[in-house]
Structure 1
C-alpha cells in the first residue's frame, strides 16, 4: 500500500430501470464496500463513487412498458436503488446520476477532446428506420417473426420465447415496436473508436503488466485481445441520452458504454473540488469493482478511452466476480426470479448483516455460486448465532455475572501457556485478514473472522470460568467442590485470578472481533462498540490485534443478542414468495403474448440421387475441447477427434450448450465440407444436429464407437 497516497474505488453503475437484487450485491457492491471500509479503517485517503446509469435502451424500454417518460423511470429507480444500498450499509461517498448536468458536460468534454485530437473514425452505415416516427431504431425497438420458433413478437436482439440471440436482419417481416410500421433501411453517420489502434498498448498494459489480476478477468481480456479488436461506434441514434456535441450530429447521442464509465469521473467532480488528485495523479490507486459481464468495458474500452484522452490514471485492478444463482437457477429479472434487496429489508428488518455475511461467505469470486434460503438459514444459525454471537454473548454475560459488570484485571502471575497462545492469535488473525483483504479474497478474510470467534469459544470452554466460580464460592463458604476437591482455601486468589484472566482475554477478543468484522458486518461491529462503551474510533485498523482495547475496571453495558435464529417458517415463506413471483411474471407474459401455433415440421427438401448422397463423408467424432468464440454469442469452437486427425470446427450451438457439458460427447461430422472462416477461425467441417421444438440435439451413435468410423 505504501506506493499509493490515495485510493479511488468505483462500483459498477446500476441501470436505473429496476430495483437491485442480491446478485448485484454479491457481484460488486458488497466486495467494494468491504474493501473501502478496510481502507478507511487504515486511515487511507479513499473515495468511493457510484451512481445510476440513466441512459441507454433499457431505460427507454422500461419507460415504454410503464407508459411514462424516461426521466420518470430514472427518477423512480434512482431513489429505490439508492435507498436499498443505504439500508444495506453500502457506504458510497457519493451516489450520483448520469442524467446530472455535470455528467453531461464532463462526457461531452471528453468526447470533444478525442474528436479534436482526430481519434474517431466517421462511418456511414445502413440501419433500420421507422418512417412514421422518423427515427432510427435500437434492436429492442424492432419486432418480427423469429426464424427459429415462429414467435411473431421476437425482438431484434433476442427471441424471449425460445431464447435465441438474433440480429434485426434475421427477423421475418421486421417492424417498429413504436408505430408498428414496416421498416426501411437508411444511411446514418456515427463516430467510431478504432480500438485496434490500441491493441499493442493494451497487451502491454494488461497481458504483460497485470498478470496478478483474477483469472477470469485476465483470461477474458486475453481472449478479446488475441481475437483482435475492431472499431466500435461511440454514438447512437436516439432522443434519450447525452447529445453528441457536434454541429452535424442532430438526433445522435453518446453510446451508453462511452458515457457510463465517465460517470465515475463526473461523480468524483461532483463530490470534491480536488477531483483531479484522484484521477490524474500517478500515486492514486484506481480499482473498479464489477460483475464479469462488464469486464470488456472496464478493462479494454474504458482504459483505451483514458489512454486516448490522456492525463488520467488507469485501473490498477478490476476484481470482477462471477454470477450468483438463486435456488439453482440463474437470476432473471424478466421472470422475476430474484431476491430483491428492498424486499429483503422489509422481510428481515435489522438483519442487514446476516445477508451481508451470507453473500460474502458464498461470494462467486472464482466461479458462479448459488444462494439458497436453506443455506442462508444454516449459515445464520450455525455460524453467526452459534459461533460469533454465542462467543460475544458468553463473554459479556459471564463478565457481568462473575466480575460485577466491570473489565477484570489480567494477573500475569497466574497466566499459563494457553493464555499466551490465544493472545498470539490476536496478531496472527489480523495478519491473515489483512493479507486476504489486500488481495481481494473476501471470503477467505471473512472465514478468518469466524475462526477467531470460534477460537474464543474454545478458549472459554477449555477454561470454564463458570466452573471455577462455583469452586470459588464453595471455598469461600468453607466447603470443597465435589468435582474439584484438589482446590483448597489457599487457592482462592488463584481461582479468582484465572476467572479474571479468562474473561479479560475474552473481552479483548470481543473488541478485536468488532474491528475484524467491521468491514463485513458494520451494524454488528457498532453494536459491540455500544456494549463495550467505546467510541467508533476503536474500529481503526491500527487497533486490531491489540490486547489493551478495553480498560480494567471499566463498567460495560448489559449484553444484547447480536443475531437471532432464522426459523423454518421464514425459509419456507421466502421460497414460496420466489416461486409465486415467477408464476406471476410468467402468467403476465403469457397473457401479453398472442397464441402461437406450434411450428410445423420442416418441409421436405428436393429429391436427390444416391450419387449426391455418396459425396458426403460422414464420420463419428469425439469432442475433445469446447470454448466460446470471443464476441460471438452463438458460436462455439470445438476440437473434434475423428480418428486420423483432430479437426477444429466452429458451430452455432452456444445458445443451447455449455462448453464444459459437451466435452467427451460423440457427434457426426461432415468431414469433407470445404473449410470456411468464421470470426477469423477456420472451421474444418460441420456437426450434424437435429432440432426439436427449438431445442438442438446432437445426431450421434446410440453407443460409443471408435472416432473416425464412417456413417453410411
Structure 2
C-alpha cells in the first residue's frame, strides 16, 4: 500500500461490458475485492468515492445487436439494467453505477481527445484496414475473425485472441473473415489517430518500472515489465464504426473513439455525475491539487486481461493530458476457473450471478466468503461447488455460526438473555488478541491480501470457540453462576468484535450479529464494546444454513447440461512410450514447485521465452520453447513444475538453468504441469 496517508480515495472497478450478464469470475476479479477495500476505508471514516458503470461501446455491442435483430441501444439498455440490478441485489456498494452512453461521458471523452489533439500528441496516419465490400464497412476489432498467429485458434478476433490472450491487429490474422458477411475482406486505406506509446515508454519505465517495483503486486508488475521490454508501439485511438463516441473532428466524420480511450474515462464521468447529484467537487478526486499531498489516491480494481490498458494505455493518456492524477495501485486479480475448466461465456460454462441470486436466495455472504477465500490474487484459482459446500459447512456454519449460536443459546438458557452490570471485556489476554486481529486485518487489506484478511476473521471465531470450550460454562453454572456469567459475557464481546470485523467481508452477517446482540450498527470499526446493566439480547437465530448434497448435485447437473459434448480421446491420441529407466535414474531428478516472476520473448526466435523462476531456493533463468502457446505477459505468476538439477546450457546466448515440465498432446500442443493445489516454490515433486 502507499506510504502516504491520502486525504481522499478514488476507487474504481472495471466497467463490465454491457453485452451479457455477470458471473462469479467477474465478482472474484474486480468487484468483491474492491467492495471489501472500500468498506474497510469507510469503517475508518476515510473520504472515498467508489465508482463503476457499464461499458456500452465497441464492436461487440453492434455485433450482438445484429445477431439478435435489434439495436445497440436495446442491447445496452437490457444488460445495463440487469447488471446494475445484480450488483444491487448482491450488495456491491458503489457510490454510483453509471454508463458510458450518458451524454456527460460523451462530452468528457471528446474533451480528452481534443486536449491531446490540440497538443499534437496524436500521430495521424493512413493505414490499410480490412473492408467488407458487401456491407460497405470497415471492419474494426470484433467485426473480423481469423486464425491467431500465436496459438492457431481459428476464432480469434481482430483485436485479441481470447484463447491465448495475445493482443492483435486485424491484419495479423490468418485467413480473416468478416463477421458481417462471412466473406474474405479487402484492404483499403483509412486515416486514424494513434497514441504514441513508444514516445511515452521512457516516462512509463521511470514511473512504473522504477516507481512501482516495491509496492505493486508481482503479477501486475511482471506483466507490465514484459510489455515494456518488448517495446511499445503506437496504438490507434479511433475506429471506423457506427456506434460509440464521435471523434470530434470535421475530417473524422463516421469515426468513433476507440473503446479503450473512452471506457476508462468512464470512471471520471461517473464521478462527475455523482458529484453533480450530491453537491461534491469531482475534481478533488481526479485532478492534481496545488499541494501534491492533497492529491487523491487512485486505485483500479480489475482482472488480469485489462492490466495493459489500466497500467500503460490509460496512465499514458492521463500523463499526456497533464491535469489528472495517476493510479497509485492497480491490484489486478488473475482468472477464476470453474470445475476444472476455464469460465466461458460462449460455452455457457459459468455460474451467472443473477441465477445464483434467484436459486440461492439470501446467500450473498456465503458466496462472498467462498470467493474471497479462493480469490485469484496472484495466480489463477478454481471454484467448485463441492468446495463451496465444504467452506460454508466447515467454516461459516461449524466455526463462526456455531460459536455465535452456542453463546446466544446459553445466555438465554441461563440468564434469560440479559447482561448483569455495565460490562466490558474482563480478560486482558482476549482483549489483546482481538486488538491484534484488527491490526493484522488492516495490514492485509491495505496490501490487498483479501484471502489472508478473511482467514484472520475466521481465526477470531476459532478463538471464541476455543475460549468457550476451555471455560465449559455448562459445567460451572450450578456451582459458579457469576463466573459462568462473566465467561458468557466475555463471549458476547467476542461476538460483537466478530460483527465489527465482518462489516467489510460479510456485511449482511454483520447486520445479523448486531441485531442478535441488540446493538446499533455504527458503520465504524469498534474496538471497545459495553453492554448496559440488564441489556436484553434478541432471540438467537442461525447465521448460516448447511449446504446439502442435493443443492450441489443440482448445480453440477445444471452446469454439465450446458457443456457441449466433447469427443473422447482414445489411445491413438497418445504419443508412444519411451524405454524404461531405473528407479535410481528417476530418483536423481530434483523436481520442485516454482513460480514465474518474469517472462519475455527471446530476440530473433519464434518459439523461445526467457523466464525468471522462483524455485524456493533461488531465482533462476530458464529458456523454454513455449512462445507459440503462451504470451509472456500472460504467464507471470504462473505456478510451474521445474527440473532444477538439469545441467545448465547456453541457448541463444542465455544460460538456461533448468527445465519447465509441460504436457504435450499428439498435435504438439503444450500446457503447464502443475499441482492441483498451490504449493510454495521449493516444494518437492516426487
TM over 0.5: yes
Deviation at 1:448, TM superposition (A): 1.1
For 2:251, what is the secondary structure of its paired residue?
Answer: coil
Cα deviation code 1:532-561 (max 9, x no counterpart): 222221x412x1x2142x333111210011
Deviation at 1:650, TM superposition (A): 7.0
Deviation at 1:160, TM superposition (A): 9.3
Deviation at 1:363, TM superposition (A): 0.7
Give the alignment's TM-score, normalised by structure 1: 0.78
Deviation at 1:142, TM superposition (A): 3.0
Among 274, 283, 286, the alignment partner of 1:271 is: 274
Q: Is the 8 A contact 2:165 2:305 kept in 1?
A: no
CA 346–653 in structure 1, closer or farther in 2 if over 3 Å, else same: same
Cα deviation code 1:69-109 (max 9, x no counterpart): 11111111111111111111100000000111110000000
**2: distance between equivalents of 1:120 and 1:74?**
30
For 1:119, what is the secondary structure of its paired residue?
Answer: coil
Cα deviation code 1:350-400 (max 9, x no counterpart): 010000000001111121111111111111001000110111111111111
**Residue 532 of structure 1 pairs with residue 544 of structure 2:** no
Deviation at 1:60, TM superposition (A): 2.0
Q: Is the 8 A contact 2:374 2:383 kept in 1?
A: yes
Q: Is the 8 A contact 2:399 2:465 kept in 1?
A: yes
**2: distance between equivalents of 1:540 and 1:116?**
47
For 2:21, what is the secondary structure of its paired residue?
Answer: coil
Deviation at 1:226, TM superposition (A): 2.2
Query: Where in structure 2 are the equivalents of 1:122-133 lying within 5 Å?
Result: 122-133=124-135
**1: distance between equivalents of 2:31 and 2:104?**
24
**Residue 43 of structure 1 pairs with residue 27 of structure 2:** no
Residue in 2 that maps onto 1:140: 142
**1: distance between equivalents of 2:120 and 2:76?**
34
Query: Where in structure 2 are the equivalents of 1:329-368 lying within 5 Å?
Result: 329-368=341-380
Deviation at 1:424, TM superposition (A): 2.0
Q: Is the 8 A contact 1:131 1:181 kept in 2?
A: no
**2: distance between equivalents of 1:461 and 1:173?**
69
For 1:383, what is the secondary structure of its paired residue?
Answer: helix
Q: Is the 8 A contact 2:17 2:56 kept in 1?
A: yes
Give unpaired runs (5+ residues) of structure 2.
568-593, 612-620, 645-649, 655-663, 672-686
CA 378–696 in structure 1, closer or farther in 2 if over 3 Å, else same: closer
Q: Is the 8 A contact 1:43 1:540 kept in 2?
A: yes
Give unpaired runs (5+ residues) of structure 1.
473-494, 591-623, 640-645, 666-670, 682-690, 699-712
Residue in 1 that maps onto 2:93: 91
Residue in 2 that maps onto 1:505: 490
Residue in 2 that maps onto 1:551: 532
CA 443–242 in structure 1, closer or farther in 2 if over 3 Å, else same: same
**2: distance between equivalents of 1:215 and 1:153?**
31
**2: distance between equivalents of 1:411 and 1:168?**
70
Q: Is the 8 A contact 1:374 1:571 kept in 2?
A: yes
Q: Is the 8 A contact 2:32 2:368 kept in 1?
A: yes
Deviation at 1:153, TM superposition (A): 7.8
Residue in 1 that maps onto 2:618: none
**1: distance between equivalents of 2:123 and 2:166?**
32
**2: distance between equivalents of 1:497 and 1:625?**
56
**2: distance between equivalents of 1:151 and 1:421?**
60
**1: distance between equivalents of 2:104 and 2:595?**
50
CA 164–320 in structure 1, closer or farther in 2 if over 3 Å, else same: closer
**Residue 244 of structure 1 pairs with residue 219 of structure 2:** no
Among 637, 650, 665, the alignment partner of 2:609 is: 637
Among 417, 432, 436, the alignment partner of 1:424 is: 432
Q: Is the 8 A contact 1:122 1:190 kept in 2?
A: yes
Cα deviation code 1:151-197 (max 9, x no counterpart): 99876568999999987557676443323455221100110111122
Question: Please, which moves more after superposition, 19-28 or 62-71?
Answer: 62-71
Question: Please, which moves more after superposition, 156-165 or 168-177?
Answer: 156-165
CA 367–180 in structure 1, closer or farther in 2 if over 3 Å, else same: closer
CA 80–252 in structure 1, closer or farther in 2 if over 3 Å, else same: same
Residue in 2 that maps onto 1:573: 554
**Residue 296 of structure 1 pairs with residue 296 of structure 2:** no
Query: Where in structure 2 are the equivalents of 1:246-261 lying within 5 Å?
Result: 246-261=249-264
**1: distance between equivalents of 2:443 and 2:631?**
41
Question: Please, which moves more after superposition, 138-147 or 452-461?
Answer: 138-147
Q: Is the 8 A contact 2:30 2:303 kept in 1?
A: yes
Residue in 2 that maps onto 1:477: none
CA 565–144 in structure 1, closer or farther in 2 if over 3 Å, else same: closer
Deviation at 1:402, TM superposition (A): 1.2
Query: Where in structure 2 are the equivalents of 1:159-558 lying within 5 Å?
Result: 168-169=170-171, 174-210=176-212, 211-273=214-276, 274-280=281-287, 281=289, 282=292, 283=294, 284-409=296-421, 419-469=427-477, 471-472=478-479, 495-537=480-522, 539-541=523-525, 543=526, 545-548=527-530, 550-558=531-539
Deviation at 1:227, TM superposition (A): 2.2
Deviation at 1:647, TM superposition (A): 11
Deviation at 1:695, TM superposition (A): 4.6
Q: Is the 8 A contact 1:50 1:95 kept in 2?
A: yes
Query: Cα RMSD (Å) of the superposition?
Result: 3.8
Give the alignment's TM-score, normalised by structure 2: 0.81
CA 167–628 in structure 1, closer or farther in 2 if over 3 Å, else same: farther
Query: Where in structure 2 are the equivalents of 1:604-683 lying within 5 Å?
Result: 629=600, 636-637=608-609, 653-654=628-629
**2: distance between equivalents of 1:199 and 1:145?**
30
Residue in 2 that maps onto 1:621: none
**2: distance between equivalents of 1:64 and 1:193?**
30
Q: Is the 8 A contact 1:162 1:694 kept in 2?
A: no
**1: distance between equivalents of 2:404 and 2:366?**
16
Question: Please, which moves more after superposition, 419-428 or 16-25?
Answer: 419-428
Q: Is the 8 A contact 2:357 2:364 kept in 1?
A: yes
**1: distance between equivalents of 2:386 and 2:348?**
20
**2: distance between equivalents of 1:625 and 1:154?**
28
Q: Is the 8 A contact 1:411 1:497 kept in 2?
A: no
